[in-house]
Amino acid sequence: MKNITLIGTGIMGAPMARNIAKAGFSVTVWNRTREKAEKLGDVAKVADDPRKAVENADAVLTMVDNSAIVTEIYFGKNGVADAAPDGALFIDMSSIQPAVARDHAAELERNGRRHIDAPVSGGEKGAIAGTLAIMAGADRADFEPAEPLLKSMGNPTHVGGHGAGQMAKLANQVIVAVTIGAVAEALLLAEKGGCDPTAVRDALMGGFATSQILTAHGQRMIERDFRPGGPSALQLKDLENALEAARNAGLKLPLTEQARDAFHTLVNFMDMPRHDHSAYLLWLEAMNGKCMGSGETKAPA
């Protein structure tokens, strides 16, 4: 596996492409907004057309916002599924519904191609550092030859068959959203109870409450830095997908439902879809009529 095409060069896709190139692969990129792809011209070939971009690809990676966009890229008017070589491996690293990932895999296999759903966790920081957690759903026979490519971006784990990677990502997003809510509530409570929230965060580090969320997102909340990161609109999308999967499994997830409702308000009524998901704090402050800290709030440009 040598020739790699990456489609979707946004916050996550661009640094992923750089790490793939750094690992010695030949990289071609395409993005709907060409300007974003052109920033990778020093490490990759920038294609004008998605079908041309994949014509020599051993593997085609997609890193886009949602199921509809992946489906359009694969099978739409300018879809790439039949433009890639026979036997090409399609690796979707977007976060989409597990059922849709399974449908994509089946359709690609009918056309002589292969598929891995491999969503990631770790955000922009992990994408830049090449330390993403990568949850792969696929036949093991397809995962093993793709492992060196996936390792150029982070730490891949084969979690099951088609759709399992997306299901694992939904589990990840449930933990992230609920924990962001817990951290926001704890820091607001501490400050309004007379504590210095920065000191409280430092005191909790190393105890049972410590987590990546307390470390990174707790700091964002204290600094009131809500530039993404992980946009709240995508967090909401993932929670909706998680609850759909739960309904299909006959499950009720009350904490996930409450987090979904909070992000729904933040995105659709407070008009903050591009704010980092740590902006849950802003929803909490609005609900309580109280603000944590007095520093300037940093928002998306």
Q: What is the pLDDT of residues 184-224, one digit of tens each?
A: 999 999 999 999 999 999 999 999 999 999 999 999 999 99
Q: Are 177 and 155 contained in the same domain?
A: no
Note whether residue 298 is domain-resident.
Answer: no
Q: Are 156 and 180 contained in the same domain?
A: no
Contacts of 292-298 with CB under 8 Å at 24 or more apart are: 292/187, 292/188, 292/191, 292/192, 292/197, 292/221, 292/222, 293/191, 293/197, 293/222, 293/224, 295/223, 295/224, 296/224, 297/224, 297/226, 298/223, 298/224, 298/225, 298/226, 298/227
Contact 14, 31 (CB under 8 A): no
The confidence band for 229, taking pLDDT boundaries of 50, 70 and 90, is confident
Q: Final residue of a domain: which of 112, 130, 162?
A: 162
- The three-class DSSP label of residue 93 is coil
**Average pLDDT estimate for 279-285:** 98
Q: Which residues pair with 225 in a beta bridge?
A: 298
pLDDT attached to residue 106: 98
The confidence band for 115, taking pLDDT boundaries of 50, 70 and 90, is very high
Take residue 50 and report the two structure tokens written for it.
Answer: 């998605």
Contact 176, 213 (CB under 8 A): yes
Note whether residue 293 is domain-resident.
Answer: no
CA distance 113 to 219: 44
Note whether residue 109 is domain-resident.
Answer: yes
Count of structural domains within the chain: 2
- The three-class DSSP label of residue 163 is coil
Residue 294 scores a pLDDT above 80: no
Q: Are 191 and 107 contained in the same domain?
A: no
pLDDT attached to residue 295: 80
**Average pLDDT estimate for 37-41:** 97
Q: Are 185 and 104 contained in the same domain?
A: no
Q: Are 110 and 243 contained in the same domain?
A: no
Residue 139 scores a pLDDT above 80: yes
Q: Are 258 and 125 contained in the same domain?
A: no
Q: Are 111 and 222 contained in the same domain?
A: no
Contact 4, 146 (CB under 8 A): no
**CB 269: neighbour CB atoms within 10 A?**
10
Q: Final residue of a domain: which of 162, 184, 210?
A: 162
Note whether residue 301 is domain-resident.
Answer: no
Q: Are 172 and 149 contained in the same domain?
A: no
Question: Residue 92 is part of a domain; what is its CATH number?
Answer: 3.40.50.720
Q: Final residue of a domain: which of 162, 191, 224?
A: 162
What is the separation, in whole angstroms, between the first and last Cα of the chain? 39
Structural domain including 191 reads: 167-288
The confidence band for 56, taking pLDDT boundaries of 50, 70 and 90, is very high
Question: Residue 272 is part of a domain; what is its CATH number?
Answer: 1.10.1040.10
**Average pLDDT estimate for 248-256:** 97
**Average pLDDT estimate for 145-172:** 98
Q: Characterize the bridge pairing of strands 59-62 and 3-7.
A: parallel
pLDDT attached to residue 89: 98
Contact 282, 226 (CB under 8 A): yes
The confidence band for 108, taking pLDDT boundaries of 50, 70 and 90, is very high
Instruction: Give the residue numbers marked as catalytic.
Output: 169
